[in-house]
Each structure stands twice: as C-alpha cells, then as structure tokens.
Structure 1
Amino acid sequence: MMIDYVTVDVFTDTRFGGNPLAVVPDARGIDEGLLQKIATEFNYSETTFVFPPDDPAHTARVRIFTPTTEIPFAGHPNVGTAFVLGRQGAVFGRPVGDRMVFEEKAGLVHLDLLRDGGAIVGAGFVAPQPLAMQGEIDRDMMAACISLAPDAIAMSTHGPRMVSVGLPFAVAELAGLDALASARPNATAFAQAEQRHRSPDDRFSAFIYVRTGDGFDHLRARMFAPLDNVPEDPATGSASAALAAYLVTLDPRRDAVRNITIEQGVEMGRRSLIEVEVRKTNDQVQSVRIAGRCVPVMQGRIDV
C-alpha cells in the first residue's frame, strides 16, 4: 500500500524557513498502529492525517501527531493542512473552497485560505476553545526548565502560568533578548514540572517571549517541548494564540481588538511570523484567530 504525503513550511514565505509539517491528505486505510510510527519517522514537531469527516457538512477529520503522541489541537498543522488541501482543490472527491471546517479532538476548527493575486499562500483559523488559564507556575521551576536564573524571568506584568485555547503551554516573559537567546531546555526540570502541572492533552512545554516593540503588539518567542521529543519548535501557533489571548485579558479596556505579531524560530535559523488577532468584548476574549503563510517543500509516497 502506497500513501501519498506532502511537506510544507508553515508561518513563512521562504522555503526551509518556518515550521516544517508533513501532511497525509488521504489517510484512509492506514492501520491505526502505523499513524504514530509514521509521525515518529518524519520526526517533525507535528504530522497530520486527513480522514473523511464524520459530518458531511465539514471538510475533513484531522488527526495530529507529535513524534511521541497524538494531540487534540495545534496551530501550524491547521494552517499547513488547509494550505495543502486548498492547493489540492478537492478532498475525498469533493471540491474545497476558501473556507473549511476540520473536525479535531479539541473541537471544530474553522479555517480560511489566504490568497495573493489569486494564488493560495497560506491560511488562518479560529482557535477551537476559549482561553483557559490553568494556574500559576513557580518562577524558580520555570527558570530551571529553560536553564536560566530566576531573575531572567520578568514579573512586572505577569508571572509564569499555564494557558490554553486547545493545547496547554507554560508561558513566561523574559527580561530581554539576551536571556531569550541563552535559554536551553532542561529535560529533567521539565519532567519535574510535569509532575506538578500534568495535563491530559499534552506533555509540559514552555513558551517564552520578550517584547520587541511598544506594548505587546510585537513579540519574539521560543518554544521548548523536550518531553515530546521536540527540543525546540520554530513556530507554535497554538502557543501564540494562547499567549496573545492571555495578554489581551491584561488590557484595561473592556472592549478591544488587538493584532499581535509573534516572531519565532530566529535562534534556530528558521524565522517564522505568526499573526494573531484577539477580540475582547465586555472583558471576555471572544475569539482568537491565527494566520500565516506557507511554502510547499516536498512530496512523495510512504510504502506501508
């Protein structure tokens, strides 16, 4: 049995930048036990498998795997998978338009394609779950996870804490770009942190950032997930969405629309740009939209 696959770089317009993603556009017939093995073989931060939807009103059912486990939701897999299916033009014999709906373990994900002069250049989507703030994290513990002294973590606006819009992340602001560049994941500390902040959805991971402009409109970030066999991720849409939503809750205005650009992957040589729009009404985050560009890289077949 031969299975077609496509790889794309996500959150970039430059090949070999951004975050690589493997997409299997038709996963019908693949033995359940092979899904994780295929994702482990690619060894990207995520691989997606596309199945027919349970509800024919939707575009597809999408399953997302890291090298070690299946997860309910992630950012760059949604952007990249929509880009691939849009360029393909049809899914399971049905044409796809500029708007899609994916069925995922975290819920329904509503997506729209980005075009430039008629050509499909990327995609955007709305996070499937409302912002959940899942507790504060000890500063010393967070610092140990990223191999920095505790005073490298800024505390003036917020301390480290868990946030999620479908997948949980520990987020923290650092004191400056030097601290961000010096951060390194400590797998032992991550394992200890997971014992105190265990989640049924994914392993403990850290999303750290600094402000590179006035306020929170421009950020530079890094993401470490060594327990998922992802020492560092060059672009993390789900973490960007959760962080941006959380930061907007700190905006004193009861009603606001904030556009936040997050630059990631610079230290890895895979610069990524993630655009996030957060809408808040009556002091409540109503929606979080993540968008970015994509570039096709490879296509081939898997002999299963």
Structure 2
Amino acid sequence: MTRDYAIYDVFTATPLEGNPLAVVFDADGLDDGQMAAIAGEFNLSETIFLTSPENEAHSRGARIFTPKAELPFAGHPTVGAAIAIVERRGGLAGDGRIVTLEEGIGLVRCVVKDDGGTHFAEFDLPKLPVAAELNLKKDEIADALGLAPAEIGFENHVPTLHSAGVPFLCVPVDGLEAIGRASTNNDTWPAFSKRTGFGEVYLYTRDTVRHDAAFHSRLFAPGFGIAEDPATGAAAAAFAGVVMQFDTPHDGPHVVLIEQGVEMGRPSALRLEMDIENRKLTKARLGGHAVRIAEGQLLL
C-alpha cells in the first residue's frame, strides 16, 4: 500500500528555515518498529505519525519519533501536524479551526488560523511546567559545553531542570558570543551525559538577534540523535517555568517570543503565551507558523 506524507518547515513562515518535520498521514497498521525505522529514514529531528483517533470526537491520534526514540509530546510536530491536517482538509473557512491530537502525553488542543496567507497554529500546553532538583555545579556544566564557568548564568538566572512533559536541563548563558561557541561536540560532553543521564541541553540568553525576541536559545540533543535542533517546542514549554522562576512576571497575559536555530542558518520563532494570576502560571500556549515544502508517498 501507499501512505501519503508531507514535509513542513515549522516555527517559520519562510521555506527552508525553521525546523523540518515529516508528517505521515494514515499511519494505521504501522507498528513501533516500522515507525522508528521510517523516522530514521527521514532522519529529521522529529516525524509525526497520524492515526485514527481512539475517540471519534478528536481529530487524529499522533505518535512522535526522533531518529532514536519516541516522545510523548513535542511542540514542532504538534504545530506542523495541526496545520497539515487543516490544509489536507481543504484549508480554513472563517476565523480558524480547532484540531485535537491524541498524543502520548494526552489530548492536545490546537487552533489553526490564517495569518496573512500563511497558517499559524497555537496549542494549549497539556501540562504546565514544573521544576525538579538539580545537583550540578556550574563548572561541570560549563566544561561539558566547552565554556568558561563565568559564562554560565546571567542576572539571577542559574541552571535549572524544568519539564512540561519532557524534562530539559535549562542553562542560561551570558551573551550571544558565548552561546554561539557552546557545543556538545567535544571530549567532555559524552562523560557528562553518561554520568548525569542528560541526553539534551537547552541553552538561552537574554541577548537576541531579532528586535522583537525576548530570548535567544539553542538545543543540543545528541542522546536523541539530534546534534542541534532548529526549534524545540517542548523546551519552550518547559522554559515557561524558567521565566516564572527568575523573571517573576506580574499578573495578566504575557507574550514571550523565543528565537532559535540562528546558528544553524534556520532561524525560528516560537511564541509562548502565559496567563498569570496571583503570581502563578495558570495557563500557557505555544504557537508558530508552518509551511509545506514537499510531499510524497511511502510505498509501505
């Protein structure tokens, strides 16, 4: 049989920027091994497989694979798949369309809108971020990233561990020059990763390239077969916890634009919206654009 697929660039409105995603439609009948092998064949940071939903009131079931592992939740596959589903159904009519995806983390609700000729999708975070204890010294983190200890941290920001479904070691770096030099492609990261169990690390700094961005970020995930990721929605979701912990925003709605992928030549823009009441995060949404750049069929 044949199965349709499409390639989308996500968290961008410009083709060949953002984070590439493979969307496999009609994935019913594929087993775990086949999905993992197909994801390895595409060799993109993530591939999402759309299946018939368990509840017919929902849009699709969804399983997300990196080249080496399955994830319960990820942001750029969620945004890309929601837009792909709407476009496959003939596009938008009216103000927008709701897409509900049954992911490993649970039900994820997305709203897809037309934004001046390109599609924008935003989803409610299925889980709000929580912090976990982190017992790592600044100098060992710096050594693992090829940086000096003085380059780890800025203002009141220090390394933390946050999760909104997927845990991330979140490391503040002092400035664009330092974050541009950071790398896990060195002699120290493998030992650090083996000892700590961290297969990925999310770096961020307050300095930005875009004038409208609040933070600049990079994501290295060699443990998942991803040397560097151009845009990481699950990390941006977890990062809402970092903003709450260190920036303590006042009550009301807040929009935080995060740029990523600049060093890779694939600039991305992730829009994080946060609702705060009584100094607590009550709701959060993550959104971005996506553009289809290729389509075809799997002969499987």
Q: TM-score, structure 1 length as denominator?
A: 0.89
Q: Which residue of 2 aligns with 1:7?
A: 7
Q: Is the 8 A contact 2:130 2:241 kept in 1?
A: no
Residue 183 of structure 2 aligns to a residue whose secondary structure is coil
Give, in whole Å, the separation in 2 of the partners of 1:301 and 1:75.
24
CA displacement at 1:208 relative to structure 2: 0.6
Give, in whole Å, the separation in 2 of the partners of 1:184 and 1:166.
25
AA paired with 2:129? Answer: L
Give, in whole Å, the separation in 1 of the partners of 2:298 and 2:38.
9
Flag structure 2 segments of 5+ consecutive residues without an equivalent.
Answer: 91-95
AA paired with 2:261? Answer: G
AA paired with 2:121? Answer: A
Q: Which residue of 1 aligns with 2:201?
A: 206
AA paired with 2:292? Answer: P
Alpha-carbon RMSD across the aligned residues, in angstroms, is 2.0
2:227 is aligned with 1:231:
yes
- Structure 1 residues 186 and 255, CA gap change in structure 2 (3 angstroms): same
Q: Which residue of 2 aligns with 1:127?
A: 125
- Structure 1 residues 103 and 193, CA gap change in structure 2 (3 angstroms): farther
2:68 is aligned with 1:68:
yes
2:285 pairs, out of 285, 289, 296, with: 289
Give, in whole Å, the separation in 2 of the partners of 1:60 and 1:46.
17
Give, in whole Å, the separation in 1 of the partners of 2:232 and 2:47.
14
CA displacement at 1:250 relative to structure 2: 3.0
2:262 is aligned with 1:263:
no
Residue 49 of structure 2 aligns to a residue whose secondary structure is strand
Flag structure 1 segments of 5+ consecutive residues without an equivalent.
Answer: 91-96
Q: Is the 8 A contact 2:118 2:289 kept in 1?
A: no
Q: Which residue of 2 aligns with 1:184?
A: 183
**Percentage of identical aligned residues:** 38
Q: Is the 8 A contact 1:219 1:262 kept in 2?
A: yes
Q: Is the 8 A contact 1:193 1:204 kept in 2?
A: no
CA offsets, 1:90-146, max 9 Å, x none? 8xxxxxx711111111121110002135x5512111111121112223312321332
Q: Is the 8 A contact 2:129 2:240 kept in 1?
A: no
Give, in whole Å, the separation in 1 of the partners of 2:55 and 2:88.
21
CA offsets, 1:18-51, max 9 Å, x none? 0000000210122332100000111111000011
Give, in whole Å, the separation in 2 of the partners of 1:46 and 1:8.
11
Give, in whole Å, the separation in 2 of the partners of 1:159 and 1:224.
18
In terms of mean alpha carbon deviation, does 44-53 or 125-134 score higher?
A: 125-134
